[in-house]
A and B are shown apart, each in its own frame.
Chain A
Amino acid sequence: MSTGTTGLTTPPRLGRGGAGTLVEGDAPTGSARRRNPNRRMRWAGLLYLAPALAMYTWVVLVPLVQSANYSLYSWDGVSTPTWVGLGNYGDFFTDPDLRAALGHVGVLICFFSFLPIALGMLTAAIISRRNLRGAALFRSLLFLPQVVTTVVTAVVWKFLYTPDGPINTLLRALGLGALAQNWLGDVTWALPALGVIGTWVTFGFCMILFVSGAQSIPQELYEAARMDGAGPVAEFFAVTLPGLRPQLAVALTLTITAALRTFDLVYVATQGGPGSSTTTPALLLYRKAFQNPDVGAAAAIAVVLAIACLLVAILIQRVTERES
């Protein structure tokens, strides 16, 4: 854990290194006699875990298995189901609506994940270089959207985006009236307009994550970098970015899975319209599960989304682990 010898490229990794060491040090390596008390302790540990584990099984694992099971049937939710095997999964290849929805998620990932992370990094880099006055207030203001319910956010932005709403009024006042749009009602602009709402929501979260991460990067690293003649940009890439790798992994995982699961924002703001220009898989899932009872098809979408989220999480974990 000493920072002096690790050099600039491998900064300390807080939080994870400590826990890892403890677990390994605890692993029994001695004689058989020494293993018994350890084993008993392990079962005792499991006992402590049992209530949480039971709850987790009941509310997460059981519905998960149930959904996977439902996805193999054609079922309206109330009458006798018919076994269709993997037929419901075929929709992903044949249903144009579902494929379009997957494409929309790609766009949303840029707005929900990449853009806020880039902006968050930039802000964190600026804040961590020197103490800005009012930084705390600034941070809380930017974090605020994260606290507000999505439905409220959607309703507010729906108003902002109306033809004579504040955004268009501002554009006209600035002499940019030609750029004014019926944002959420326009086939071209509705999806990016929704994306911007996502950026607004997740930006503050990413920034807080990176600022707190940057605070734990030892000042000496910055001093060393400056002594080597690094400017702000070189300093960012040599010290800040590598130091924020764990935070980056968390931010990527949470924001990408959030984009994959986008439902409430779209449901309230556009209902997937105009046409089907802003549909998401989760919106189609809702429609199939509740409006047009086809529980099997809905469950198939849910299972694919769950697997996609899991893969994203594993992939990001893998990449950041290897680079460290």
Chain B
Amino acid sequence: MSSPRVARLVAALALPLTLVAAACAPQAANSGGGNVQPSAVSSDVASAGPVTLRFLDFEEGPDAAYIKKAIAGFEQQYPNVKIERTEQSFDQVMSTLNLRLADPNGPDVATINNGWQSMGTLSKAGLILNLDKYAELYGWRDQLSPTMLRQLEFTPDGKKMGEGSLYGTPGARLTTVGLYYNKKLLTDAGVAVPTTYAEFETALAAVKAKGETPIALGTQEKTYATNPLFALQSLLGSPKAINDFVYGSGGTTLEQTGLGTAAAKLAEWQKDGYLNPGYNGLDFDGGKKVFTDGKAAFHFDYSGALVGTGADSTKFGRVQLPQPDGGAQTSVGAASAVFGISAKTKNPDAAAAFLNYLGSQEMNDLSVQNGYLPIRPSTAQVEPGTTFADEVAGAATVTKDDGFLPFFDWSSPEMLDVIGGQVQLILAGRSTPETLVTDGQKSYDDAAAKRG
């Protein structure tokens, strides 16, 4: 009695399910491929009639106040345009962006991330607009240094990063990774602020000899465990090799980028007791707190590290160290957020005008007024003698030398996880810089093979 009943039920369920499965076989979000461009572009937004732009971004806390001012400024300039903002955390935006941009009712403008996993996938699938025509219209390429522009380029077939067409604009805010120091602890140890990498190492030893902790960091979070490593790599590695490796532009191996050397240095510091006790049980902010509490002399961090920590910014400085050969000033640096336009937007001209506004002189000045580094030269006043003044001066020399380096983890989708995990293991004595190099190279090669 029961088995035919079950059979009928199975049949009743299986039929619609099979139909659904057949209809829902995975499909490309946009069959046209990766080179979606508007046929005609215009900067005339005022006469376009009422327009609503949906805007998705991940600016939270003090950053949100900045972006709100940007929206208000744009709406004032174009009263016919209304911006509907959706704010979510970085992780939330990143994990749903591909689906949202495939939706015709998704955002018109969105914050996207550099590298293969976000901008690469979106451009290849034709989900974000190729911005070349707008870049020409507004002169975007003339406003940015070549090493910064490169970070926003992909070839329309999605095969190469760092060349080809522009798929995003960098807004007005720059993030660099650099070296912060505690003025008092250096004075106590009888050393001057280092101006070369060699002097930096001398200072570390002097601070240690004085019985203080030379370096504060927190490596419990895998993502941020990479921070001191990338900072060290930018000091010790060859900028050309790093650029060539990340952008995949020819024959460079991970070993040549100086990442292994940086990892060995980190392991050496750990062995010499240069790191704050308990660094492996602290998250990134925990490590930063050790520094802002005055318990360590040096700390690698992103620009704007002291904003919102309540630390007295006259007590701390930031120094931009040159390459060991005394050459160019280089630094890991990128836009703090990249903005792109959905290929499905009905108002590309208005969206492009908004992107242009986000990178305008007003926004760069607003950036400085809020304690963030501007991407373009700004005329806004910076209070001398503060940590922020050091940050601005450092970024200016890097811009002048055109020495921006991409974040190394853009080189493959899993690089951040692989390297972050390896840093944790190396500091625990469970892995070696050689393994880090081998594993990183493998992740890079696997990703390249998958792209074809």
A172 to chain B, nearest CB (A): 13
Do B424 and A273 touch across chains, with their CB atoms under 8 A apart? yes
Q: Which residues of B contact A66 (CB under 8 A)?
A: 20-21, 24
* B122 within 8 Å of A (CB atoms): yes
Residue of B124, B281, B430, B431 most packed against chain A (CB within 10 A): B281
Q: Which residues of B contact A271 (CB under 8 A)?
A: 221-223, 420
Q: Which of A145-169 contact B (CB under 8 A)?
A: 158, 161-164
Do B25 and A69 touch across chains, with their CB atoms under 8 A apart? yes
Q: Which residues of A contact B26 (CB under 8 A)?
A: 69-70, 73, 75, 81, 295
A318 to chain B, nearest CB (A): 18
Which of B17, B98, B417, B425 makes the CB contact (< 8 A) with A78?
B98
**3 closest A-B pairs (Cβ-Cβ)?**
A182-B281, A163-B278, A185-B280
Give the B interface residue count (CB, 8 A). Answer: 53
> In terms of DSSP, what is the predominant structure of the interface of chain B?
helix
Known: A79-B124, A290-B94. A62 touches B20 (CB 8 A): yes
Expressed in whole angstroms, the Cα–Cα distance for A186 and B225 within the complex equals: 14
Do A185 and B28 touch across chains, with their CB atoms under 8 A apart? no
Known: A69-B26, A79-B29, A274-B280. A185 touches B219 (CB 8 A): yes
* A65 within 8 Å of B (CB atoms): yes
Do B220 and A57 touch across chains, with their CB atoms under 8 A apart? no
Expressed in whole angstroms, the Cα–Cα distance for A229 and B445 within the complex equals: 72
Do B431 and A273 touch across chains, with their CB atoms under 8 A apart? no
Known: A66-B24, A78-B121, A273-B225. A184 touches B98 (CB 8 A): no
Known: A66-B24, A293-B121. A275 touches B431 (CB 8 A): yes
Q: Which residues of A contact B28 (CB under 8 A)?
A: 78-81
Q: Which residues of A contact B421 (CB under 8 A)?
A: 272-276
Q: Which residues of B contact A76 (CB under 8 A)?
A: 121, 125
Do A293 and B117 touch across chains, with their CB atoms under 8 A apart? yes
Known: A57-B16, A65-B20, A271-B222. A161 touches B281 (CB 8 A): yes
Q: Determine the residue in chain A with the shortest Cβ distance to B451.
A: A76
Q: Beta-carbon contacts of A266-284 to B below 8 Å, as 1s and 0s?
A: 0000111111100000000
* B198 within 8 Å of A (CB atoms): no
Do B17 and A274 touch across chains, with their CB atoms under 8 A apart? no
Q: Beta-carbon contacts of A50-76 to B below 8 Å, as 1s and 0s?
A: 000000010001100110111001111
Known: A80-B28, A185-B219. A274 touches B428 (CB 8 A): yes
Do B125 and A275 touch across chains, with their CB atoms under 8 A apart? no
* A292 within 8 Å of B (CB atoms): yes
Q: Beta-carbon contacts of B407-425 to A below 8 Å, as 1s and 0s?
A: 0000001100100111011
Do A187 and B221 touch across chains, with their CB atoms under 8 A apart? no
Q: Which residues of B contact A78 (CB under 8 A)?
A: 28-30, 98, 102, 121-122, 124-125, 127
Do B281 and A183 touch across chains, with their CB atoms under 8 A apart? yes
Known: A79-B125, A271-B222, A275-B430. A162 touches B24 (CB 8 A): no
* A27 within 8 Å of B (CB atoms): yes
Expressed in whole angstroms, the Cα–Cα distance for A77 and B102 within the complex equals: 10
Residue of B20, B26, B158 most packed against chain A (CB within 10 A): B26
Q: Which of B67-110 contact A (CB under 8 A)?
A: 94-96, 98-99, 102
A88 to chain B, nearest CB (A): 12
* B282 within 8 Å of A (CB atoms): yes
Expressed in whole angstroms, the Cα–Cα distance for A75 and B420 within the complex equals: 26
Residue of B122, B219, B280 most packed against chain A (CB within 10 A): B280
* B1 within 8 Å of A (CB atoms): yes
Do B424 and A274 touch across chains, with their CB atoms under 8 A apart? yes
Q: Which residues of A contact B225 (CB under 8 A)?
A: 273
Do B125 and A186 touch across chains, with their CB atoms under 8 A apart? no
Do B286 and A162 touch across chains, with their CB atoms under 8 A apart? yes
B225 to chain A, nearest CB (A): 7
Q: Determine the residue in chain A with the shortest Cβ distance to B26.
A: A81
Q: Which residues of B contact A162 (CB under 8 A)?
A: 278, 281-282, 286
Expressed in whole angstroms, the Cα–Cα distance for A271 and B416 within the complex equals: 12
Question: What 20 additional pairs, Cβ within 8 angstroms, besides A185-B279, A185-B424?
Answer: A57-B17, A65-B20, A65-B21, A69-B21, A69-B26, A75-B26, A77-B99, A78-B127, A79-B125, A163-B278, A185-B220, A273-B222, A275-B428, A275-B430, A276-B421, A287-B414, A290-B96, A291-B413, A291-B414, A293-B98
Q: Beta-carbon contacts of B267-284 to A below 8 Å, as 1s and 0s?
A: 000000000011111110
Do A65 and B17 touch across chains, with their CB atoms under 8 A apart? yes
* B40 within 8 Å of A (CB atoms): no
Expressed in whole angstroms, the Cα–Cα distance for A62 and B21 within the complex equals: 8
